[in-house]
Amino acid sequence: MAVSEDFWWEIEKLRVMTLHDSEGRDGGDVAMTDKDDVSSDGSGGGGESLVSLGAQRSTRRFAHLLYTLAQAYRHVASGTYATRRDVYYQCVWLYGTQAGLDRSAEDLVRMLGVPRSGLHLTITGKGLVAGALTYTTCDGTIVNVSQAQNGMLVPESVEGMTGVVSDARYILVVEKDATFQRLVEAQVHRSYGPSIIITGKGYPDVSTRQLVHRLWSVLRVPVLALTDADPYGLHIAALYKFGALLREDAGLAVSSLAWLGVLPTDLRALQLPAYALLPLTPTDHGKLASLAAHPALSRSPGWLRQIQEQQNSGFKAEIQSLTHIRPDYLTSVYLPTKLRQAGWVL
């Protein structure tokens, strides 16, 4: 499918803004709270816990800390990586559950004052990636993502990736797995590309956010977000852009990310049928108010306008609601039109 020059002109303008915006910034100075930034012990990610050498109940936890520290030291010293899952299976009898290992790893991050990636114990991601991307894993395996028909899992060790090669013109971050699969099936990454498509399957885990940030910093191309037109979609887009409030690691937030859609301001122009629009709940109104009060968004007029539009309309809509216009409206009309007309919020 031929792509007009207007289409690429808008993408190029966004790329130039991206490069200007990223100079001298790591993107992690402002943060958002997200539900995945919570440690496995249920402490909410921000609290401190006490391990007393004189307390019997702390014996096992102290053993967890020592063994996890030993594993981290071994991999840092050798320049290798291991997944937390692999470490857990090496010593199931000690940890008891995966949560035991996760808790000790998070404790070490706090105690040592290092980012999670500094332990070289990676978290297995749930996200998927598709499109024009080739890279080499930490064990020397060359991975060509474009050969995967339905995309592939985010690499276990984003930090260990080398030889990243791509001719992608932009990166599209998608909220939902179902939308990701629809876009890949429609070959959007080729028809309106080359591009890279990534999904965190809802709220993204650390590995997915690491991949988005790594590709953004290496390829120096625009990053666009496609989410539902609801408070949670807005929150997910903001999470990729501004980062997580609790124990945010450097190298996760993409400060120049643009929210492509579905925007609350799009809903009136789309003229969706009444049954495709869902009324906002009291919880939704509370989340919008919380987001509007956050310092990151209070300094972003475009994002505030979207919040105000949704508050005033009293309605929300999912990406899937576009099928009520026509089954392929998302891939054949909405996305190419938004890209061509630069219909995003910075």
The catalytic residues are: 89
The DSSP element (H or E) to which 18 belongs, if any, is helix 5-22
Q: Dihedral angle at the C-alpha atoms of 223, 236, 266, 221, nearest 10 degrees?
A: 0
Q: Which tokens hold the place of 88?
A: 């857990």
DSSP state letter for 316? E
Angle between helices 206-219 and 5-22 (to 10 degrees): 100
Interior/surface letters 235-255, b for 16+ CB within 10 angstroms, e for the rest: bbbbbbbbbbbbbbbebbbbb
Q: Which tokens hold the place of 289?
A: 């108010």
Q: Which long-range CB contacts under 8 A does 294-297 form with residues at least 24 apart?
A: 294/32, 295/30, 296/30, 296/31, 296/32, 296/238, 296/242, 297/238, 297/242
Angle between helices 206-219 and 231-242 (to 10 degrees): 60
